[in-house]
Structure 1
Amino acid sequence: MSDLAATLDDAAALAARGREAFDHDAALPLAFEALSNRVGELAKRLANADPARFDDPLWSQAARNRDFVVHHYDRVDAAALWVTATRSFPELRELVHRLSDS
């Protein structure tokens, strides 16, 4: 879970650059695509290893998002990617921290 927490922390640092940076720096959307892949893969592994502990719908949402980004990268919507990075990732980050504390 520490790998996932670190990845989500990296995503938060990049998102903190703001929407304008996201819109004007081509590297940021690509970075969020890569982070979506990593977050989703780690979420899948955790949910498969301990389904009872990782039963929150956020785990499967992260996995499905990863599958879409990886397999349909040509159809990834920038606005949706920004929402993932600024809303969904922080929600998952909070969940990871709650589970780490318990």
Structure 2
Amino acid sequence: MKDEDRVERWIADLISTLDQAAELVARGEEAYRLDPALPLAFEALSNRVGELAKRLVTAAPERFASPLFRQAARNRDFVAHHYDRIDHAILWRTVRDSFPVLRSELVN
């Protein structure tokens, strides 16, 4: 598989993941607070988004130079390694506010 094919596959996967996150955000903040599965889903989505962002930055740093990609990768590292210190209100805002901005970076 060519590098460019791999990058395009990762972009498609990232867009799909960000769209899934948007669907969960659409359930609302109250659902997020009341359903214990939603914060766990947000953690998993943050892990996937960050891992894909890392891959894209590594494979094509000039194409993915926006600081948002590196921030997504750092967020992933925090969520994965410091899961016991996650502030779920911040996680909610990150997925609600930052993920759509990251998605717009991919389609521009």
TM-score bin, normalised by smaller chain = over 0.9
User: CA separation in 1, counterparts of 2:81 and 2:56?
Assistant: 21
Q: Deviations over 1:6-54 (max 9, x none)?
A: 0000000000000000000000000000000000000000000000000
TM-score for both structures, normalised by structure 2 = 0.90
After superposing on structure 2, the runs of 4+ consecutive aligned residues of structure 1 that deviate more than 2 Å are: none
State which structure, 1 or 2, has the greater radius of gyration over its C-alpha atoms: 2
Deviation at 1:97, TM superposition (A): 1.4
Match of 1:33 among 26, 43, 56: 43
Match of 2:58 among 48, 53, 56: 48
User: CA separation in 2, counterparts of 1:26 and 1:96?
Assistant: 30
User: CA separation in 2, counterparts of 1:68 and 1:89?
Assistant: 16
User: CA separation in 1, counterparts of 2:33 and 2:76?
Assistant: 21
The residue correspondences of 1:4-15 to structure 2 (distance < 5 A) are 4-15=14-25
Gaps of 5+ in 1: none
The alignment yields a C-alpha RMSD, in angstroms, of 0.4
Gaps of 5+ in 2: 1-10
Match of 2:72 among 30, 51, 62: 62
Higher normalized contact order (CA 8 Å, seq sep 6+, divided by chain length): 1
TM-score for both structures, normalised by structure 1 = 0.95
% identical aligned pairs: 65
